[in-house]
């Protein structure tokens, strides 16, 4: 059965910045927050072309946003910081990403940081989350949790309403599936039409109708579900994937590698057409998932390098270990020769010499933990 792709692109992107806001900005935010509490509405601060809406939220910091096409900004209070929390968190809005993409998000970020006069360097950036979504017009489709093939141990949730997280009755129409953890890797398949109607975010209808007009199709009428049912397939990647596994840190990393992260995720999760075969791994891939994979590959092809950073790190680590092992072997041979050890006693000499080496380590003025940490920092070959 046919399905039309109405939209594809990033639906979420979150950064953290390990820096403090200037005291002058802190003073402005504190004053605006107090005013927002008194007026029960946002207080708008003007920074040249940037308008920052400061809310009354944020117990030990400041919560603000730059509009539906901008981002949500969370600033730590430098005078009352929460230990181990980033100084700034930037969560880009879906409409801005849908209309301007990564280029627009990066431009907005740099314009804001410049307008707010916040000093930073690229190494202080951390990617915390990235979402990629594809909207399908497919009235004939309904999610089935049995069709979702995911890695062992992955939690799968089926829900029958926009705000529900579990099936509440066997006769209810399934409106979505969710599998995985947002801190790691998560797939969500859900009724986007219902969400748009409930949240009144009709900007998505404008986006969808632009796609309909482009191919000469009639505009969507949300009052008729049989002709306007839109399903969203959305992959969400958290810090365990983006930072720990793929080593993404800043904007350049996203541009060069983000496609690899999503391509890898589509290879680990599939939505299938069930058969009588008990081995779910042999079930054929569903047509919509084929389309989803194709869109992810085509849209993010320019953001792929084809090699995982973790694989490069491991290769470098192995090479360095082989190099050091060769040096150690040479030193042991020299030490044995000086001690007059014959070749048939060399292995025993090495085993017995460990005790002497440990004694030397214990007598060193610097603690072993400190010396190991310095060596790790020098080579930077650990995940």
pLDDT tens digits along 6-48: 999 999 999 999 999 999 999 999 999 999 999 989 999 999 9
The sheet that has 43-47: what strands, in order across it?
A: 43-47, 50-54, 61-65, 71-76, 88-92, 4-17, 125-137, 230-238, 185-191, 176-180, 156-159
Residue from 16, 237, 254, 290 nearest 126 by CA: 16
- 312-348 confidence digits (pLDDT tens): 456 557 767 887 888 888 898 998 899 898 988 888 8
| Beta strand 88-92 pairing with 4-17 | antiparallel
Encoding tokens for residue 242? 């983006």
Most confident among 248-252, 276-280, 287-291, 373-377 (mean pLDDT): 287-291
Q: Which residue has the tokens 């601060």?
A: 45
For residue 383, what pLDDT is reported? 42
CA distance 364 to 383: 28
Q: What is the pTM of this model?
A: 0.76
CA distance 182 to 57: 24
The answer to whether 63 and 45 have CB atoms below 8 angstroms apart is no
For residue 209, what pLDDT is reported? 92
CA distance 181 to 241: 11
Cβ-in-10-Å burial (0-12, 13-18, 19+) of 155 comes to exposed
DSSP annotation of 276 reads S
Instruction: Give the three-class secondary structure for 17.
Output: strand
pLDDT band at 382; cut points 50, 70, 90: very low
Task: Look at 4-13, 88-97, 106-115, 150-159 and tell me which has the smallest mean pLDDT.
Answer: 150-159
The answer to whether 15 and 128 have CB atoms below 8 angstroms apart is yes
pLDDT band at 377; cut points 50, 70, 90: low
Residue 321 CB partners (closer than 8 Å, separation 6+): none
For residue 161, what pLDDT is reported? 55
DSSP annotation of 57 reads -
Please report which helix (H) or strand (E) contains residue 7, including its range. strand 4-17
The mean pLDDT value for 244-270 works out to 90
CA distance 178 to 236: 10
Half-sphere exposure of 373 (CA within 13 A, CB side): 5
């Amino acid at each position: 059965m046919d399905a039309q792709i109405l939209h594809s692109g990033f639906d979420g992107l979150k950064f953290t910045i390990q820096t403090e806001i200037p005291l002058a900005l802190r003073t402005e935010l504190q004053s605006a927050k107090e005013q927002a509490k008194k007026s029960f509405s946002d207080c708008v601060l003007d920074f040249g072309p940037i308008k920052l809406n400061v809310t009354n939220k944020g117990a030990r910091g400041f919560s603000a946003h730059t509009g539906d096409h901008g981002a949500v900004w969370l600033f730590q209070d430098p005078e009352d910081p929460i230990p181990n929390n980033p100084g700034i968190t930037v969560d880009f809005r879906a409409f801005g990403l849908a209309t301007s993409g990564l280029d627009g998000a990066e431009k907005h970020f740099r314009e804001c940081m410049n307008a707010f006069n916040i000093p930073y360097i690229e190494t202080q950036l951390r990617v915390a989350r990235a979402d990629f979504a594809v909207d399908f017009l497919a009235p004939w489709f309904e999610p089935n949790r049995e069709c979702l093939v995911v890695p062992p141990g992955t939690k799968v949730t089926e829900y029958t309403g926009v705000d529900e997280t579990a099936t509440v009755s066997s006769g209810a129409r399934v409106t979505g599936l969710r599998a995985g953890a947002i801190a790691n890797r998560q797939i969500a398949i859900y009724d986007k039409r219902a969400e748009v109607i409930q949240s009144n975010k009709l900007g998505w209808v404008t986006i969808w109708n632009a796609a309909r007009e482009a191919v000469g199709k009639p505009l969507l009428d949300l009052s008729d579900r049989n002709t306007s049912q839109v399903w969203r397939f959305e992959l969400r990647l958290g810090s365990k994937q983006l930072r720990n596994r793929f080593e993404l840190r800043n904007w350049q990393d996203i541009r060069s590698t983000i496609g690899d992260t999503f391509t890898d995720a589509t290879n680990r999760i599939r939505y299938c057409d069930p058969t009588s075969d008990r081995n779910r791994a042999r079930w054929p891939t569903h047509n919509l998932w084929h389309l989803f994979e194709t869109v992810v590959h085509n849209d993010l092809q320019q953001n792929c390098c084809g090699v995982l950073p973790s694989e490069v790190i491991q290769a470098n680590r192995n090479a360095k270990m082989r190099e050091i092992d060769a040096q150690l072997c040479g030193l042991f041979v020299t030490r044995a020769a000086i001690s007059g050890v014959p070749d048939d006693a060399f292995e025993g000499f090495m085993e017995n010499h460990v005790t002497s080496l440990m004694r030397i380590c214990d007598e060193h003025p610097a603690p072993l933990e400190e010396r190991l940490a310095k060596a790790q920092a020098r080579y930077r070959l650990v995940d």
